[in-house]
């Protein structure tokens, strides 16, 4: 139900214009600036596609994109596999009155500083960190393992974050599921395994896909976790972008890399949106 | 068989809780250790590093900067978000769906790219790096969030109250301030506190857009360059405490929300 106020058409525009102006000025315009910048050379005039062709011809740049995609895929799959049973246990086995508390506890570390959370994994995984001290202490390994500054560390840091996120989304999905579906399946003679595979899982799949997409976007665009935990052994795209700015002040190349990164996310979004639409039809 | 599955499920849940809490427990535990390295074995409690953090002028001024940027950028986000949500929910505007989409668009773009874009734009426009520049970036990421939360809570039952006020002769600004704002208060607070937690914790945009005066996450980042450092543990534990307070406020405001 809507209506036009006494002031006619001026009032509604006065209400929405500040937010629109802010978005245009500080989101759309910067994006245009970045696009234009990506078409210029670091030093020199005129427009060029050199920054883009550099990405497609230089194998070390390609490598960063491949690393990004690999790490993101591994993180997404592991996080879903870990979070689904956990969310299921919270939704099905924890008594109703404790569920809110159980869920709040499960996402509590969300609220530590993101930078600090990656750092605290370093305390756990470092040469003289908690895990290595424990392993050498009980005599399982003689030498401390190289855990920090590896892909393993990056993946661990990411999975830690996304298990919390996916637990939230999958839990919400499972709670929305009407119990009558499962009752109906049981009445028709399906065992728990079949009920899960043929009823619960398909019905929660759209939720999982939304969670997976969120994981993909946040993971592939993140600089902090790979930089702190992965080190500089194996660069991912955001590290490459930051490197162009930090070490070389090469804004055009950094802009081009950002736009390529955004294009990949957009493709993933389109793929996901299409898939979800088919699912709903 | 059922008992075995139950036990396995509980063990699994405990293992996941263990995984989730491991780094946080390690962080807080070793922030209380007196030795110069935050590594095992744990050698008894001490508040030495908390004192070191609180007497570190760089860290305390970064903390004040962070709070300042978080409060001001959240106020701006929630004000712009509320006004536009009210405008879109109450009036027919041409191209409304497209414009609403435009406002929520930044939600789908990573912070790194938003920060990069602003950096390039400000660089061209000759705007120097500053807390203000970072704050502008924080409004870009939090405005869509505030808008989405408040817009989703604008129900039909509020329209009737507003119409009643108008029928009794209240001018628009009075309807807005004395009816809509109080009725929408839970959603407004929720948007505000959520923005606070995001801004307070935001790193990449602040890192790109500030230089001399900067926010706490950036200062913590600078601390990290010196390797494992018990001061980082202490400051991290303090940040955690502040975030928990904000989250509790957020929970309380959301829980008080009236069903729409």
**pLDDT at residue A82, rounded to an integer:** 95
| Chain A, window 226-255: residues with a beta carbon less than 8 angstroms from a chain B beta carbon | 228, 238, 241-242, 245, 251, 254-255
- pLDDT at site B206: 95
Q: Which of B114, B123, B194 is nearest to A22 (CA)?
A: B114
Which of B119, B110, B121 minimizes the C-alpha distance to A32?
B121
Report CA B74 to chain centroid distance, whole Å: 8
Residue showing tokens 């050199």:
A50
For the stretch A170-181, pLDDT in tens is: 888 888 877 777
In this prediction, residue A4 carries a pLDDT of: 47
DSSP bridge pairs for A47: A40
Diameter over CA atoms, chain B: 72
- Residue B79: asked if its preceding bond is cis (omega within 30°), the reply is no
A5, A113, A255 ranked by CB distance to B220: nearest: A113
Give burial (CB, 10 Å; 0-12/13-18/19+) of A257. buried
- Which of B117, B147, B156 minimises the CB distance to A30? B117
Cα torsion angle, A122, A124, A130, A133, sign: negative
Mapped onto helix, strand or coil, the DSSP state of residue B173 is: helix
Q: How many residues does chain B have?
A: 260
* Radius of gyration from C-alpha coordinates of chain A: 24
Please name the residues in contact with B87: beta carbons below 8 A apart, sequence gap of 6 or more: A11, A12, A13, A14, A15, A16, B93
Rounded Cα distance between A115 and A228, Å, is: 8
Coil, helix or strand at residue B168: coil
Interface of A with B in 14-43 (CB under 8 A): 14-16, 18-20, 22-24, 26-31, 33-34, 37
Cα–Cα distance measured from residue A113 to residue B31, given in angstroms and rounded to the nearest whole number: 15
CA distance to partner chain A, nearest, from residue B34 (Å): 16
> To the nearest 10°, the Cα dihedral for B18, B24, B30, B36?
130
| ipTM of this predicted structure | 0.85
Mutate to test the interface with A, among B85, B116, B165 (most CBs of A within 10 A): B116
Nearest in space to B105 (alpha carbons), one of B133, B81, B140 = B140
The residue in chain A having the minimum alpha-carbon distance to the alpha carbon of residue B231 is: A116
DSSP character string of B198-231: HHHH--HHHHHH-SSS--HHHHHHHHHTT-S-HH
Q: What pLDDT shows up at residue B140?
A: 96
In this structure, chain A runs to a length of 281
Of B23, B118, B123, the CB nearest to A124: B23
User: Chain A: residue nearest B200 by CA?
Assistant: A113
Q: Whole-prediction pTM value?
A: 0.85
Nearest to A157 by CA among A236, A242, A46, A56: A236
Residue in chain A lying closest to B14 (CA): A86
Phi, psi (5° rounding) for residue A178?
-70, 135
Instruction: Return per-residue pLDDT of chain B as tens, 260 residues.
Output: 778 888 999 999 999 999 999 988 888 888 887 666 666 666 667 777 788 888 888 888 999 999 999 999 999 999 999 999 989 988 888 888 899 989 988 888 889 999 999 999 999 999 999 999 999 999 999 999 999 989 988 877 778 888 888 888 888 888 888 888 888 888 898 899 889 888 988 999 999 999 889 999 999 898 887 777 778 888 888 888 877 887 777 777 666 554 43
Best-predicted range by mean pLDDT (A91-95, A136-140, B89-93, B114-118): B114-118
Residue of B18, B28, B120, B165 for testing the chain A interface, max A β-carbons within 10 Å: B120
CB nearest to B103's CB, from A19, A85, A217: A19
Contacts of B244 in chain A (CB under 8 A): 108, 111
Chain A residues touching B236 at Cβ < 8 A = 112-113, 116, 119-120
What residues form DSSP beta bridges with A8?
none
Instruction: Give the separation between CA A169 and CA A207, rounded to whole angstroms.
Output: 7
Chain B interface includes A210 (CB < 8 A) = no
Chain B contact for A273, CB < 8 A? no
Are residues A198 and A271 in contact, defined by beta-carbon separation less than 8 angstroms? no
pLDDT at B255: 62
The overall average pLDDT reported for chain A is: 84
A5 confidence band (pLDDT: 50, 70, 90): very low
> Which residues make beta-bridge pairs with B43?
none
> What distances in angstroms separate CA B99 from CA A13, A20, A213, B66, B85, one per listed residue?
11, 8, 24, 31, 11
Residue A189 vs residue A15, higher pLDDT? A15
Closest CA to B209 of A20, A140, A159, A245: A245
- Residue A114 forms contact with B (CB below 8 Å): yes
- B99 alpha-carbon distance from chain centroid: 24
Chain B residues within 8 A of A223 when measuring between CB atoms: 112, 204
Cα angle vertex B170, ends B166, B171, to 5°?
A: 100
Helices and strands (DSSP H and E) totals, chain A = 14, 0
Q: How far is B116 from chain A (nearest CA, A)?
A: 7
Contact A108 B39 (CB under 8 A): no
Q: Which residues of B touch A164 (CB under 8 A)?
A: 20
Picking from A5, A26, A123, the nearest residue to B26 by CB comes out as A123
pLDDT at A175: 84
Q: Across the interface, do B17 and A31 touch by the CB < 8 Å criterion?
A: no
CA distance B67 to chain A (A): 14
Exposure on the CB side of residue A134, measured as CA atoms within 13 A = 7
Contacts of A217 (CB under 8 A, 6+ apart): A265, A268, A269, B108, B110
Q: Please compute Rg for chain B using Cα positions.
A: 23
To the nearest whole Å, the CA of A18 is away from the closest chain B CA by: 6
Nearest to B201 among A15, A114, A120 (CB): A114
Strand-pairing partners, residue A40, are A47
Return the closest-CA partner of residue B196 out of B162, B232, B244, B156: B244
| A64 within 8 A of A237, measured Cβ to Cβ | yes
Distance separating alpha carbons of residues A266 and A72, to the nearest angstrom: 15
**Any CB–CB contact under 8 A between A262 and chain B?**
yes
Helix and strand numbers (H, E) in chain B are 13, 0
CA atoms within 13 A on the CB side of B147: 32
CA B153 – CA A178 distance, rounded (Å)? 24
């Amino acid at each position: 139900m809507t209506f036009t106020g006494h002031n006619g058409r001026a009032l509604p525009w006065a209400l929405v214009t500040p937010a629109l102006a802010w978005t245009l000025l500080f989101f759309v315009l910067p994006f245009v600036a970045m696009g234009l910048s990506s078409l210029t050379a670091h030093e020199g005039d005129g427009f060029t596609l050199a920054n883009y062709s550099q990405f497609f011809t230089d194998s070390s740049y390609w490598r960063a994109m491949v690393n990004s995609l690999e790490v993101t895929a591994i993180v997404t799959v592991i996080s879903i596999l870990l979070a689904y049973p956990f969310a299921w246990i919270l939704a099905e086995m924890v008594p109703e009155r404790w569920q809110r508390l159980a869920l709040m506890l499960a996402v509590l570390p969300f609220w530590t500083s993101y930078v600090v959370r990656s750092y605290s994994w370093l305390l756990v995984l470092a040469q003289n960190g908690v895990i290595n001290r424990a392993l050498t202490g009980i005599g399982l390994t003689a030498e401390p393992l190289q855990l920090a500054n590896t892909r393993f560390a990056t993946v661990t840091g990411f999975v830690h974050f996304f298990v919390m996120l996916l637990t939230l989304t999958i839990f919400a999905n499972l709670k929305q599921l009407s119990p009558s579906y499962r009752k109906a399946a049981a009445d028709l003679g399906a065992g728990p395994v079949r009920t899960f595979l043929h009823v619960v899982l398909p019905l929660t799949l759209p939720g999982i896909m939304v969670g997976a997409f969120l994981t993909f976007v946040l993971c592939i665009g993140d600089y902090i976790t790979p930089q702190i935990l992965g080190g500089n052994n194996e660069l991912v795209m955001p590290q490459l972008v930051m490197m162009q700015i930090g070490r070389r002040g090469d804004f055009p190349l950094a802009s081009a890399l950002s736009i390529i990164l955004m294009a990949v996310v957009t493709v993933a979004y389109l793929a996901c949106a299409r898939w979800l639409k088919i699912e709903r039809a | 068989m059922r008992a075995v599955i139950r036990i396995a499920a509980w063990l699994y849940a405990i293992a996941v809780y263990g995984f989730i809490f491991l780094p946080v427990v390690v962080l807080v535990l070793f922030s209380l250790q007196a030795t110069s390295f935050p590594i095992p074995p744990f050698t008894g409690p001490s508040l030495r590093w908390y004192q070191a953090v609180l007497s570190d002028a760089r860290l305390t001024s970064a903390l004040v900067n962070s709070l300042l940027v978080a409060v001001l950028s959240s106020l701006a986000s929630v004000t712009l978000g509320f006004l536009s949500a009210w405008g879109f929910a109450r009036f027919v505007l041409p191209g409304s769906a497209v414009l609403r989409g435009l406002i929520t668009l930044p939600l789908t773009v990573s912070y790194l790219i938003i920060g990069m874009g602003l950096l390039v734009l400000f660089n061209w426009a000759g705007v120097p790096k500053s807390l203000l520049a970072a704050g502008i970036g924080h409004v870009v990421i939090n405005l869509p969030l505030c808008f989405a939360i408040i817009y989703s809570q604008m129900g039909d039952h509020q329209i009737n109250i507003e119409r009643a006020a108008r029928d009794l002769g209240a001018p628009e600004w009075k309807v807005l301030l004395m009816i809509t704002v109080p009725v929408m208060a839970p959603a407004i607070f929720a948007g505000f506190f959520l923005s606070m937690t995001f801004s307070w914790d935001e790193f990449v945009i602040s890192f790109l857009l500030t230089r001399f005066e900067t926010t706490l996450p950036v200062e913590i980042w600078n601390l990290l360059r010196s390797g494992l450092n018990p001061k980082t543990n202490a400051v991290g534990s303090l940040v955690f405490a502040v975030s928990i307070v904000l989250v509790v406020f957020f929970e309380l405001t959301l829980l008080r929300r009236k069903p729409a």
